[in-house]
Amino acid sequence: MNSFVYIEDDPHSREVMTILLRQVMGFEQVTVWEHGQNLIERLASLPYQPSTFLLDIHMLPVSGYEIHDTLRAHADYAHACIIAVTASVMTSDIHKLREYGFNSLIAKPVKMQQFPLLLRQILNGQAVWVV
């Protein structure tokens, strides 16, 4: 069962992703947060253990990179699928994401026609780096 946590500070982007995951793709276990503070405590309070994380990168005070590291350092999420969903797609950003150990990247803006296909590929175990 696929379950998601999406962390994103832009409210409209949160809404877009919620619609894509719930209404377009039909997933039910979707949690959307606006920041990554107290992450582990909040994860523990969820009724399910998320298998896939979608992370915006440029966020304050906790960046997507830091959230990634926090997750990887925790036994429950060390092997979770972590996808960067970011509008920062300079070569240096992409290198940094790869170095950190993100599983995939889907650049913003995401596309309604394309996103479901890409996400399914990722959930099937492929690494997808789409700018």
Q: Which residues bind other proteins (CB under 8 A)?
A: 10, 12-13, 15-16, 19-20, 23-24, 58, 86-93, 107-113, 129-131
> Would you say 57 and 96 are in contact if contact means Cβ atoms under 8 Å apart?
no
Q: Which is nearer to other proteins, 45 or 113 (CB)?
A: 113
| Shortest Å distance, C-beta 113 to other proteins | 8
| Shortest Å distance, C-beta 48 to other proteins | 25
Q: How many CA atoms lie within 13 A of 44 on its CB side?
A: 6
Q: Which is nearer to other proteins, 10 or 66 (CB)?
A: 10
Q: Which is nearer to other proteins, 62 or 130 (CB)?
A: 130
Q: How far apart are CA 44 and CA 46, in angstroms?
A: 6
| Shortest Å distance, C-beta 110 to other proteins | 6
| Shortest Å distance, C-beta 45 to other proteins | 29
